[in-house]
Each structure stands twice: as structure tokens, then as C-alpha cells.
Amino acid sequence: MDAKDEDAMNYAQFFDLESYLLNTVKERFQKDRCLSAFDFFCIVIWKSNRAKSKIAKKLLEKGYETLDDAAKALTSGLAEQSSNKERLRYLVEEWGLRLPMASAVLTILYPEDFTVYDARVCEALNDFHNLDNITPFDRMWSSYEDYLRAVKQNSPDGLTLREKDRYLWGRSFHGQLCQDISNGFRAKKPE
């Protein structure tokens, strides 16, 4: 990128990464049916910044010379899948992504159909804590569908699926922070 291109770049768009993903990246995927490594890793970082090196290694182990080649292959293959179940299966079985990361990718690219499998939301629902360890895949998918239903049923009406996820995440955050303040941020003593 030369200085002129850099001056034209709106770096502020990356401050609210979720908005960038749900607007720019999702639209780019719908138009191009694939993503660059930059956009794909924006999703990875949004879900779990600490996982980016592990995911990069996993992608390169598939035999691609560059992360850009790997990300384009992964996302173009994802675009070819015929159903939501097959989209998740593709990311989990073909690319080795765990359910939290696979669901994050799918939440950005198909936000009306997927929500992020997240520990905070599981906490708010008081259920679904070990979905990512379920095998075989068909059982994981069935349990994820139950998780989706629970997210929809345990949040206010009139919200998008993404907003319902945020609501439950926020409920968990609020409850945990209130509890931490109440006990002076001391670790819970083992029973």
C-alpha cells in the first residue's frame, strides 16, 4: 500500500470490528463468494484474538502457500455448501474449526441463520456448556439447533438473531460483574 492509498484508507472502520464484519465483510462475501485473509482473520480476531496463530497454522497445514490462498479456498468452499448444516459440517470436519470459531464465521456470513456459540451465552442460558465436544457431527448439529432455539426463546422479541446473542452475552456480563463487585473481585473459594 503506498502513501496515497494509506491516506484514503478509513482506519476508523476497524474500531467497531463487528460493524465492519456485518456490513463490509458480509456484503463482500455475498458478492464475491470468498474472502481475503485480511477479512477472514478479522472474523477470527473478533471471536478470539488469541486463536489467530493457531487458526493460521491450521489453514497453512492444508497445503496452501499463503494465508490468502487458504482463506479464499475455505470461504469459496463454504459458499458452495447447500444448507446450514453442511456449512457448519464443512468448517468443523473439512477445516478443523471448533464450534465457537466455526459459528463465529457463520454468524458474520449468514447472520440470519447462525449465532456465535459462546461461553457467556451458555452461562446466560444455564445450558449448552459442552456442545463443541459432542460427536458425531450430526449430534453436534442437533444440539446447536437446540442452542439456536434457546437463544431465540430466552431474549426479547423483535430483535435480530445477532441482537438476541448480544442481549444474552450482556446479561451474563452484567451478572458476573455484579457478582465480582459484590465479593470484591476475590476468587471464589473451592468448596
Domain boundaries, the chain: 1-114, 115-191
> Could you tell me the CA-to-CA distances from 15 to 19, 36, 46 in Å, in that order?
9, 19, 11
What was the pLDDT predicted at 153? Answer: 98
What single string gives the DSSP state of each residue in 122-161?
HHHHT--TTGGG--SHHHHHHHHHHHHHHHHHTS-TT--H
In degrees and rounded to multiples of 5, residue 188 shows phi and psi of -65, 130
Q: Is residue 5 pLDDT above 60, yes or no? A: no
What was the pLDDT predicted at 187? Answer: 78
Q: What is the pLDDT of residues 66-97, one digit of tens each?
A: 999 999 999 999 999 999 999 999 999 999 99
DSSP code at position 97? -
What average pLDDT does range 62-66 have in this prediction? 97
Peptide bond preceding 136 in cis form (omega within 30 of 0): yes
CB 92 within 8 A of CB 129: no
What was the pLDDT predicted at 52? Answer: 98
Q: What is the pLDDT of residues 29-41, one digit of tens each?
A: 999 999 999 999 9
Residue length of the chain = 191
